[in-house]
Each structure stands twice: as C-alpha cells, then as structure tokens.
Chains A and B, each alone.
Chain A
Amino acid sequence: MSVNMNTDEAVVLASARGAFDQDWRKVANWGLICAFALIFVSLTDMPDKLDKRVIVEPLLSMGYLSLIWIPIALGNLVTREVVLEGMTQHKKGVRELVAGLSVGAIGGAGLALLIWLLDTRDLSDPLVNWNDALLEVLSFGEGVGYGAIFWILASAGLGLAGGALHVLPTTANRLLFAISLTIVLAASLESALDDISEGFRLEWLFEALFEKKGGLSVQGAIILAVFAIAWVLVLGGQAKRGRAAVTARRELSPTKVNTVGLAIIAVAAVVLPMFLGRLTNDLFTNVGLFLLLALGLNIVVGLAGILDLGYVAFFAVGGYTAAIMTSPTSPGLSPELPWWVAIFVVVFMAIVAGLFIGAPVIRMRGDYLAIVTLGFGEIIRLTVRSDWASGFTGGAQGILSIPGADIVGVATVKGTDPQQVLYLVIGFVAIAIYVSWRLENSRIGRAWMAVREDESVAEAMGINTVNSKLQAFVVGAILASFSGAIFAAKVGSVFESSFKILVSIVILVIVIVGGMGRIAGVAAGALVLVGILGGPNQPGLLAEFSEFKLLIYGALLIWMMLKRPEGLIPNVRRSRELHQEEFLQDAWLKAQANDDDDEAASGEVAPA
C-alpha cells in the first residue's frame, strides 16, 4: 500500500462525506491517545525544563512546542487514509475538520484534568515532576480554571488545524511545512549560527534575526518565513526537477556521483573549519567521530545485514590501543609511539579484534548474533575496567595525559585545539566515505548485499558467506578503531565509561534514522542526531534536551521502524526490498483496474 497522497496521479474522487459521518470510535481512540500523549509529555517535565529555550521570543518556546505538536499531528492522522492506486478516494472536507477538532478537544480535556489534579492532589512521591512549577507553566500562572479552559480551546484549535491540513491545497501544505521547519531549525541551531556568523563577519545578520537573550525575534521569524516561502515557490520546482534528473541518472549508472555536489562538500570541508569558532568546531568533531562509527556500522548492518550490538567494542579497542601506545603514563606497556605510528598498531588490533569477535559469531542466527556481540562488547568493557587488566588499561582510573595526534612531516594536532582535530576527523571521514563508496559498488559489496537478502541463495551463487561476513566485520572494526584513536587524542584520556553499550545503540539509531546502506543518509543521521540532540556523553546544540535525548532516541527508533524502516534518506535498492509486497500489491490493483476497464469497454461494444 503505497501512500500516494499529494501526488499528481489520477485518483477517482468521490464526493465529500457529511461532517458527522464519522467513525466516532476511531475519533475517540485517537482523542484518548492525544490526551495520554499530552499528559505524558507534561509529566516528563519537558514543558517546564525546555521553557527556557525560546524559539520565537516572546511567542513560543521549545517547552510549549513539546505540547502543541501533539494535537496537530494526531488531528491530522485521525483522518489520514491509506490511498491505494486505482481505488476510490473521498474528497476531503468538513468531516476532516470535525474529526481533528474532536481529537484535539479530547486531548485538551485530558490536559485540563491533569492541571486540576496537579492543583488538588500531591503525587510527587513517585512522580518527581509533580510540582507547582509544572502547574505554573501549564496554567500560565493565571490559575487552574484559566489553564484548563485555555488548553481545551487551544488543543481543539490545534487539532482543527491538523485536520485542515487535509483540506488545504498541496502547495499551502508544503509552504507551512517549510516555514515551521525553517523556524524550528534556525532556533535549534542558534548557538551554532552565532558562532558561524562571527567567523564570517555576519554578526549583523545574526542580530537581525535573533534576540540578545536567545530565540528568534518576531521580525527574524518573519524574515525566515519569507525566505522559506521564496525558497519553496521559486527554487522548489527547480530543485525537484534537478533531483529527479540526478536520481534518473543514478538508476542508469549507480556508480556515477554528483560531481558538483561532491566538489561543493569538499571545498566546504576544507574552508569551513577556518571560519568556525571553538564551539562549532568541537560540535563538528563530535559529529565526525560518530559519523566515522556510523559509516563503519553501516557496512556491517546496512550492507552485510549483520546486527552488531557490541560495535562499541571496536571503538574501545581503538581508543585504548592509541592510549597505551602514545601516553607516557600508561601503566604496563608504554612505548610512547607517535600517533601516526600508533595508528598502524590500532588498525592491527582492530583486525585482530574483528576476527576474534567475528569468527565465533558469524555462523549464528541473526538475533543470537546480536545478543552475543552485545555480550562481547560488555566483556571487553568489564575486562578493561577490572583489576586483572588494570596493569595495562588503568582499570577504573583510565589512562591519562595522551598527547595529541602528530602526523609525520605534515602537522601536529593538539587535542586541545578543536580546529586541528576537526581537520583530522574530516580527513578520516573522507577516507571512510571513499572506502564505503568503493566497497559498496565492488564485488565484495554486492556479495554483502546478497548475503543480507538471502544467505542460502547467496551461497548457492558461489559466495563464500562466512568470508564475506568476516570481511564486513573487519572493515567495520577498522573504521570504528580510527574513531576511537582520534577520540583518545582529542579528549586526552580514556575511561571505560566512554565505551558503554549505550554508544552502540546510539550509533545504531544514527544508521537507522539516517538510512541504512546509504552514505548520505548516515551522514544526515549523524549531523541531525549528534549535532542537534547530542551523542551519549557529548552535548549537542540543544543542551537543554540532554535529559530527554535518550528518550527521544528510543521513540525515534520505534517510530522509524514502524513507519519508515528505510530511513530518512533511503538506499533505493533496500527500500524497494522492504516495500516489495506493497509494490506488488499496487501493481496487482492497477492490473485489476485495467481489467475492469477492458471488460466494461468490451461489454459496451458487444450489444452494439
């Protein structure tokens, strides 16, 4: 069932149904979901804790945004229909508005109930966020009655707006989406934009858009909105046509790359760090480290289809090997090699670790493999921490005073200088991207994809499945160990607490949200998730979210798996495989519709 909304394909439009011709049970269900979601988000204390993060001063903060998107989204989803090709589709009208309004109103009533309970009961014993601050934020300090009525009305209005998205023409939908995305994105990127504008001497632009105390100013929001509208109306069509052309070319010859785009990215990668401030350089370094890890995991999970949950083990191997080899204070072994020599040892150790962990698990069923690799990840971390290995790894004290990375004859990268580290990371990311791209389109890459889709068939085709899986494991391990080695040089110390299972899961989320098996997708995933929300121990741009980011990661992972398992920027081949059944069904329906037409036509002809 492909969702062909907003496409130009011909669909038979039946007349609009009556406003009260609703599936009331469904509406009530969605309304209850809306109420539950609003109460849940309130109790996580997002409205209160994120209130300081202003989007548009003084209209909207991230705190209120965490509530208002819920009625809009659910008011829209309640009447969303799966449209099958060749099937009758009803015209949208007042019915959709009524449904959205009802869902929003029920949700608002739920929130009003919460406000009343916050005022009268004290449940702060198990629920830590049950306090007056939350009540204050929810009722705007104007009293319980005001807050309750406000939220019922506001939520109903937002639900109505969500329903109205069905009725509005496609262009208006696209405009609204572009405007809200631009404003929210600009507000999220505020500190980065501040930093960048300083580098490019564009402070005047930044000051025109943002208030001094944080958040977009009203005029800034309007400027951005106009910009977004212009972008969609003027450039939208061209961009779409351009992308279509690129996709078409890629279908014909998949190895060809968009040279112009690549050149722009390359120039930006070389030039941009010079203009960036400390904060953005550091941020991009974190993004780059996780991108390196994600590119490695992308080969293992995305191409070869091996779900490795202990991927952090290789990150740890890289980090600890580099630390032991370079740090003068590492206990036990301390050769004090220069970093560029140590990196060869790191690669060697990564290969050994990849083979050692890979060989026992490679024959296992996919899900057993996941758990066993996770077990290996924990074993490595626990061993590194234990007294037994502390002669080499420093145990819980870790290894300190790791000198920066020096590359013979080229440069010495001090860990304390984010700009130099960023260049180092960019260099390694470039290598990783090149390797991934070449491998993907090589004989090995095709073997990996064959193994991913069907191991028995791949074996029948003459692929040595064990060897090709091991190769994927080792390549992934090497990329992760690079990231670990740079991480050690950047931070200047390694502790076992940086290598928890959590890191593996976050990398997995990056790969899946971005788009498994597609380099651009993985890059987008790393940029959005690590850059904006932050990595497991690294703060992102939205530092206020640090308490909630793991919650959001979890929710995002579930959502993506349910609704878009191919990721934000999908790999064409993989998404086709994931939706194969739907493609077949569409084709079947189309054929049916054609048959009906033929029969109708012949039926008309016969009597005449």
Chain B
Amino acid sequence: MTTAMRSKAAPRTGVDWFLTFLRVLLTGLVLFGLLAFLWQQIDPGNPLASAINPDANRLSWDAFQGLVISGLSQGAMYGLIALGYSMVYGVLGFINFAHGEVFMVGAMTGMITSNKLFEAGVWEDNFLLAILIAVLVSVLCSTVTAVVTERIAYRPLRGSPRLIPLITSIGVSFFIQNTSAVLLGPGAKSYPRLPDWLRDDIGIGPFDIEGKKLLVLVVAGASMGALWYLVERTKTGKAMRAVAEDKEIASLMGIDVDRTIVTTFAVGGAMAGVAGILWGILFGSVTEFTGFLPGIKAFSAAVVGGIGNLGGAMAGGLTLGSSESLAPQLVLEPLGVTGHTQLKDAVAFLVLIFVLLVKPTGLFGERLSSEDRA
C-alpha cells in the first residue's frame, strides 16, 4: 500500500506516534490479558491473578471447548457471508452494505419455508428432505434479492465516485430491513424444533460437538469447496477473476462484464442464503435486524482475511468468530472487566480495528484490481 510506504518515508507526525502508541497498547493489553488468564489457569488463588481480577476463576476444559466450537460454527457463517462482501469488493471495489440483509432474507425465507414444511409434516418425517427444500428456497430468494439489488441500485452507479454506491447500499440495507418488518411483522420469529440427533452431542476425538454445530461446519465447508471449484476451475470463475483484475481489458477479451458482475452477486447471494439457513438452525430464530450485526462482522472478517481473497474470507470468519467467543473469557475476564460477555460485539469491532492498525492488508493479503491498489 502506498500509505504504508509514505508513512515510512515521511517524518513521523503526532498522528503516527499516537497510532504506534495505540498498536503497542492494544497488543500489550491482549498479551497481558492472556498472561493473566494463564496465571489464573495455574492457580486462581495466586496473588498475581487475584490482584488483577478478584473473582479469578479457572476455565474448565468443557467450557473452553464449548467456546471454541460455538466460535468456529459462528465464524463459519461469518465466513460464508464474508465471501459475498469479498467477491463484490474484488469486482466492483465498493462495500455492499446490503449484503447482510441478503443473508437476513435467506434466514427469513428459510424460516417461512421450514414452518410451512413443519405444518405439512415433512419436517418431522423426513428432516433431510425438508432442510434441503428450505436451503433451496432460501438460496433462491437470497440470490434473487442480490441480483435485483445490483440491477436497480448499483448498475446505474457504475463508474461514479466510490462512496456513492456505498451510501446507496446503506439505503438498500435500510429498505430491505424495514420491508421485512412491515411485510412480515417486526420481532423474532422462530424456526420449528430441530430433531433430537441434531441437538445431541456427537463425540469426535477429544471433542463433543453438538449436532447442529457440526452440521453448520460441514455445510459451510462444502459450500466453500463448491465456491472454490467454481472460481478456480470453471470458465465462469475465470471470467470473474479477469473482471476483478481489470474490467476494461476483460471486456476486450470478449467477457461480458455485466453478466459476470451479476454472476458474482448471484454467487455471493447464494452463499449468504446458505449462511442464513444455517443461522436459523443454530439459533432457532430470526428478526429483521438479524442481518445487520452479522453483516458488519462478516465484512470485518473479509477485511481481517484480506479483502478480495476468498480463502482469506473464510479464515477471517473463523478467526473473528472464535476470537469474539474466546476473547471475553480469555482476555477481558482476567483483566477484571465485569460483565465481559456483554462486550462480545465490541470485541469483534476491536479485532477489525486492531487488524487494520497492525496489518491493513489483512492476514492473508488483499487481492484487488489494479485500480484499487493505487
């Protein structure tokens, strides 16, 4: 990045010193928190641990693995949503703020379909068939939402200053959110009860994983594999990569740029749809605001992994999910922060800020088109 190079060459200003201070402070706090955690793991009564946190308490292995697994399964969902952000950013160079709402549409339509199937008795008789239908419906609806949004709101803005599509997408996000509230009624709506085998623990090696979390991890992995195949091994994927690299030259090579962009939105929407139904299975309920925070966190995941980088998006999602689930217990509690679980969402944003301060290109490097690198 040029900014990074410039800051090396130019004399350090007050802002630079402040940023360095912040970097050191944040890193120090995290390390200190982890150290304090280790102290209290060794002996909660030891004077160092209890000096920092009077209520120091040992974290049991069961609780720890529970946190890791719920962090990973939530992170897998963030990763699936992040793919959409990352692909659109790679191709069009703007943050599609409304992508979180596409995910919410998936969760909502999944809720409607599965409740209908539950009423028809399919959900209980043949759960796999029912969930397959629900996945198909919600993927279809999310894809349609993403494509229609692109057509109405983003295509006319191609080539305008970068903040304009971003502001438009905020409007789209707001609109979809409130459309759901007005059409389907505000408030939480629940999914039907899951079958027992998804609610029981399944033992894999040293881990006991709740069935639904395992399902989420497996489905997310499979979708990721399918996406990887699409992008890296098919002609459509090649076209997408070419458009991401340089739109003009891609169109000179005979690639239909508009169509490729639509495909990108569609694929991102489909991934968000899968994530939506997984959210429903994992948490059992959905509201019109379901898309907002996970959407922003998924964007953070895309940045953490390096935007435009698909593997990075998934890895970023897993990193973000597990750190937001572990950090309150591992860092905040040993530091003596009371009510640390309330700060779970704040941790996710702090991770984003931390990564952007320390390594703005993300953990795995950005893959952006030549125009955006400047």
Contact = CB atoms under 8 A, between A and B. Distances in A.
Interface in A459-491: 466-467, 470
B370 interface: no
Contacts of A417: none
Contacts of A366: 162-163, 166
A558 B166 contact: no
Contacts of A512: 167
Given A129-B183, A367-B94, A375-B352, A387 B338 contact: yes
A386 interface: yes
A305 B164 CA distance: 11
Nearest to A371: B299
B170 A508 contact: yes
Interface in A12-37: none
Contact of B166 (A307, A379, A550): A307
Interface in B77-108: 94-95
B174 interface: yes
Interface string A123-150: 0011111000000000000000000000
A314 B132 CA distance: 47
Given A367-B94, A376-B349, A548-B182, A388 B338 contact: yes
A364 interface: yes
B171 A382 contact: no
A375 B353 contact: yes
Nearest to A555: B175
Given A363-B7, A385-B342, A557 B349 contact: no
A387 B167 contact: no
A565 to B, nearest CB: 6
B172 A383 contact: no
Contacts of B18: 359-360
B129 interface: no
B345 interface: yes
B185 interface: yes
Given A305-B163, A367-B166, A554 B174 contact: yes
A287 interface: no
A269 interface: no
Given A383-B346, A387-B342, A466-B15, A371 B163 contact: no
Nearest to A362: B15
Nearest to A563: B156
A379 B297 CA distance: 13
B167 A557 contact: yes
A367 B165 CA distance: 10
B184 A127 contact: yes
B177 to A, nearest CB: 8
Contacts of B353: 360, 372, 375-376
Given A561-B157, A561-B167, A44 B182 contact: yes
Contacts of A505: 170, 174
A562 interface: yes
Nearest to B307: A368
Interface residues of B, number: 60
B309 to A, nearest CB: 15
Interface in B150-180: 152-153, 156-157, 160-168, 170-179
Contacts of B168: 557-558, 561-562
B343 A128 contact: no
A127 B160 CA distance: 37
B167 A508 contact: yes
Contact of B171 (A127, A376, A547, A557): A557
A1 to B, nearest CB: 12
Secondary structure call for the B interface: helix
Contacts of A307: 163, 166-167
Given A43-B183, A367-B95, A360 B19 contact: yes
Contacts of B179: 44, 551
A505 B176 CA distance: 15
Given A359-B18, A368-B356, A466-B13, A558 B163 contact: no
B38 interface: no
Q: What class of interface size applies to chain A in its complex with B?
A: 35 or more
B183 A372 contact: no
B349 A378 contact: yes
A375 B345 CA distance: 9
Contacts of B95: 367, 370-371
A455 to B, nearest CB: 10
B350 interface: yes
A45 interface: yes
A553 B166 CA distance: 16
A376 to B, nearest CB: 7
A386 B178 contact: no
Interface string B1-25: 0010001000001010011001000
Contact of A561 (B3, B171, B173): B171
A374 interface: yes
Contacts of A363: 3, 7, 15, 19
Nearest to A378: B349
Contacts of A367: 94-95, 162-163, 166
B164 A44 contact: no
Given A127-B184, A362-B15, A551-B178, A386 B342 contact: yes
A363 to B, nearest CB: 5
A558 B175 contact: yes
Contacts of A555: 171, 175
Interface string B68-81: 00000000000000
B261 to A, nearest CB: 17
A371 B164 CA distance: 15
Contacts of B167: 307, 508, 512, 557, 561
A396 B13 CA distance: 40
A379 B164 contact: no
Nearest to B7: A363
B338 A379 contact: no
A359 B174 contact: no
Given A382-B345, A508-B170, A371 B183 contact: no
Contact of A565 (B160, B181, B182, B342): B160
Nearest to A391: B338
Contact of B346 (A371, A379, A547): A379
Nearest to A556: B171
A470 B13 CA distance: 13
A509 B178 CA distance: 15
A44 B183 contact: yes
A60 B95 CA distance: 42
B338 A360 contact: no
A383 B185 CA distance: 30
Interface of B: 3, 7, 13, 15, 18-19, 22, 94-95, 112, 115-116, 152-153, 156-157, 160-168, 170-179, 181-185, 292, 296, 299-300, 303, 337-340, 342-343, 345-346, 349-350, 352-353, 356-357, 360
Given A372-B353, A548-B182, A554-B177, 11 more contacts: A126-B183, A364-B360, A466-B13, A550-B177, A551-B174, A551-B179, A554-B171, A554-B175, A555-B171, A562-B157, A565-B164
Interface of A: 43-45, 125-129, 305, 307, 309, 359-360, 362-364, 366-368, 370-372, 374-376, 378-379, 382-383, 385-388, 390, 466-467, 470, 501, 505, 508-509, 512, 547-548, 550-551, 553-558, 561-562, 565, 578
4 nearest CB pairs, A to B: A387-B339, A557-B171, A554-B175, A554-B174
29 contacts: A125-B112, A128-B184, A307-B166, A359-B18, A360-B18, A363-B3, A363-B15, A364-B356, A366-B163, A367-B166, A370-B163, A371-B300, A382-B343, A383-B343, A390-B339, A508-B170, A509-B171, A550-B174, A550-B177, A551-B179, A554-B173, A557-B168, A558-B171, A558-B172, A561-B157, A561-B168, A562-B156, A565-B160, A578-B161
